[in-house]
């Protein structure tokens, strides 16, 4: 990559970026119409724009992903967009596009089994796919392969990563197949989003899907962001953070960094993801969704500004510009995304995404077909040249909260192999044991019992395979408040295998007070 793109010069990038600016003309609606008629050509153009914008945004932010945690990417840091860039990633690091090929798993199931495909079809396709997964997705894959099916596979008691952004980054398809019908997108996300997420993690996908859906009807970004938020329960942390971002944008309309800073102060604390608690790393849906709408609001309909700001907010800085770029791409339509970005995209539109048999050109048609079916199913009509959509006024989905009553208290470094772990004592209401299994035989599965206070609470299968691994060795939430002791018994030890405990994450029933209070 360095040899191929070493000639890229920061000044050239900035000039190119400046030349590609393009603004939309806002219609400033105050409510959604009861019906909305759009030509078939324009419907397809917007669907194509959504997928194109997502792919471009993902590529743009790819090299910065999780390299800027808890800090923004300063303006003087160049973000490259050389010729041939998307094709390079397709051919050399195709795993970058998990944002897209994860969506395509679900698009493909709809295509093969119809709009009423059962959730198990989506779950099995997702769990048995060849791609590598992380966080909530990987925890759900493990659960499904162990017989824990959705929605239990995404529930926080079974998935310590339930609040992570996994479904948020793969919910684009739900909005693109539900134009003007945000509640229909929510119904899809209720079924599929609970494969891997719960609570705020699920809300991330619901909100993103609703914004895509409304992007077919309005070109007013503030209206889209605000109206879509009506799909989220007001008492949720997720809603409160997004509401704050919208209000801060009104208060500081010319300074996205100020809104970013206010977000950091109030909403950057992660309590769920065992990799994010006590670190600057944050893959929680709440803060990363905030970065999406910071990009959308301060981007003001300009494609470059939108994905650049969403990227420069940091953390998951390929997924966030992918979502922002996809939503704005739907607003603009494929035909209005500037050529500066489309030149690279058009080189790959017939190339299949890794782990799939699906190209972008095929994706456009599949989503278009699904959208026509949904429009008719939900009261609209399809004629030779136009479609009429029965628009839906957004309503909130049900309230869920993960990790309720769980407050991070301490992370204890264990750093021992299982035979040396002995008894691990802790005080609190919850515990997560982080670690991993290694074996010469990649098919080896360690069988380990966990005892808490002398009682057997779980016998777990722990694969050595990275593809089917258990993200976290063991966990237990909602324990009686007080002192506990955990012990472990390895039922099938082998000389060429190891079960490695790295950290013990402890939760108490009340938050720790500030040392300065």
Write the pLDDT tens digit of every residue in 449-465.
999 999 999 999 999 99
How open is the CA angle 109-92-17, to the nearest 5 degrees? 95
pLDDT band for position 29 (50/70/90)? Answer: low
What is the average pLDDT across 80-103? Answer: 96
Paired tokens of 390: 């029965």
Looking up tokens 């860039």 gives 85
Q: How far is CA 223 from CA 32, 230, 272, 431, in A?
A: 10, 11, 31, 42
CA distance 456 to 449: 7
CATH architecture of 2-390: Orthogonal Bundle (1.10)
* 257-294 pLDDT, tens digit each: 999 999 999 999 999 999 999 999 999 999 999 999 99
**pTM of structure:** 0.94
Give 425 or 516, the one with higher predicted confidence: 425
DSSP, collapsed to helix, strand or coil, labels residue 504 as strand
Whether residue 22 is predicted with pLDDT greater than 60 in this model: the reply is no
Selecting from 2.60.120.230, 3.40.50.12280, 2.40.50.140, 3.40.710.10, what CATH number does the domain 407-508 have? 2.60.120.230
Whether residue 515 is predicted with pLDDT greater than 80 in this model: the reply is no
Q: How many beta carbons lie within 10 A of that of residue 308, not counting itself?
A: 22
What is the average pLDDT across 322-338? Answer: 98
Whether residue 237 is predicted with pLDDT greater than 70 in this model: the reply is yes
Paired tokens of 230: 């009506």
Domain boundaries, the chain: 2-390, 407-508
Q: What percent of the chain has pLDDT over 70?
A: 94
Lowest-pLDDT range, 5-14, 124-133, 142-151? 5-14
* 473-495 pLDDT, tens digit each: 999 999 999 999 999 999 999 99
Annotate 453-488 with DSSP letters as a single string. Answer: TTEEEEEEEEES-TTT--SSSEEE-SPPSEEEEEEE
Whether residue 128 is predicted with pLDDT greater than 50 in this model: the reply is yes
**Cβ(36)–Cβ(371) under 8 Å?**
no
- The pLDDT assigned to 3 comes to 31
Paired tokens of 199: 């609570």
What is the average pLDDT across 323-332? Answer: 98
- The pLDDT assigned to 139 comes to 98
Annotate 110-171 with DSSP letters as a single string. Answer: HHHH-TT--HHHHHHHHHTSSS---HHHHHHHHHHHTT--TTGGGSTTT-TTTTBSTTGGG-
**Cβ(328)–Cβ(303) under 8 Å?**
yes
Bridge partner list, 462: 446
């Amino acid at each position: 990559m360095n040899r191929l793109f070493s000639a890229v010069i920061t000044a050239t990038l900035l000039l190119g970026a400046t030349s590609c600016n393009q603004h939309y003309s806002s219609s400033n609606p105050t409510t959604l119409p009861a019906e909305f008629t759009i030509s078939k050509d324009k419907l397809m153009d917007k669907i194509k724009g959504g997928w194109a914008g997502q792919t471009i945004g993902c590529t743009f932010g790819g090299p910065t992903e999780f390299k800027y945690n808890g800090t923004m990417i300063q303006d003087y840091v160049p973000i490259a967009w050389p010729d041939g860039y998307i094709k390079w990633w397709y051919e050399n690091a195709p795993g970058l596009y998990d944002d897209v090929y994860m969506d395509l798993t679900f698009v493909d199931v709809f295509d093969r089994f119809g709009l009423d495909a059962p959730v198990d079809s989506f779950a099995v396709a997702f769990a048995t796919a060849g791609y590598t997964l992380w966080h909530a997705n990987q925890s759900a894959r493990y659960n499904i392969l162990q017989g824990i099916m959705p929605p239990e596979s995404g529930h926080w008691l079974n998935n310590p990563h339930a609040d992570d952004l996994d479904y948020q980054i793969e919910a684009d398809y739900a909005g693109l197949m539900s134009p003007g019908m945000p509640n229909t997108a929510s119904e899809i996300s209720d079924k599929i989003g609970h494969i891997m997420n719960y609570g705020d993690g699920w809300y991330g996908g619901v909100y993103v899907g609703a914004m895509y859906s409304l992007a077919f009807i309005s070109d007013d970004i503030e209206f889209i962001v605000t109206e879509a938020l009506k799909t989220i329960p007001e008492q949720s942390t997720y809603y409160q953070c997004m509401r704050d971002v919208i209000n801060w944008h009104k208060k500081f309309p010319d300074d996205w960094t100020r809104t970013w800073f206010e977000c950091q102060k109030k909403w950057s604390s992660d309590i769920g993801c065992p990799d994010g608690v006590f670190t600057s790393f944050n893959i929680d849906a709440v803060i990363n969704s905030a970065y999406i709408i910071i990009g959308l609001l301060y981007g003001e309909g300009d494609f470059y500004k939108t994905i650049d700001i969403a990227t420069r907010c940091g953390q998951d800085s390929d997924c966030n510009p992918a979502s922002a770029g996809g939503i704005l791409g739907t607003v603009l339509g494929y035909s209005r995304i500037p050529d500066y970005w489309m030149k690279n995209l058009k080189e790959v539109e017939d190339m299949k995404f890794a782990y799939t048999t699906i190209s972008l050109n095929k994706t456009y048609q599949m989503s278009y077909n699904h959208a026509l079916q949904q429009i008719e199913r939900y009261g609209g009509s399809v004629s030779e040249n136009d479609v009429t959509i029965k628009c839906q006024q957004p309503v909130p989905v049900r309230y869920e909260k993960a990790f309720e009553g769980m407050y991070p208290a301490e992370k204890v470094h264990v750093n021992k192999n299982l035979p040396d772990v002995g008894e691990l004592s802790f005080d609190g209401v919850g515990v997560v044991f982080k670690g991993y299994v290694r074996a010469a035989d990649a098919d080896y599965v360690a069988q380990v019992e966990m005892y808490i206070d002398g009682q057997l609470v779980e016998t777990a299968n722990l694969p050595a395979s990275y593809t089917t691994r258990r993200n976290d060795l063991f966990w237990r939430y909602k324990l009686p408040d007080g002192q506990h002791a955990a012990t472990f018994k390895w039922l099938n030890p082998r000389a060429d295998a190891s079960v490695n405990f790295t950290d013990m994450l402890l939760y108490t029933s009340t938050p720790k007070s500030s040392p300065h209070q």
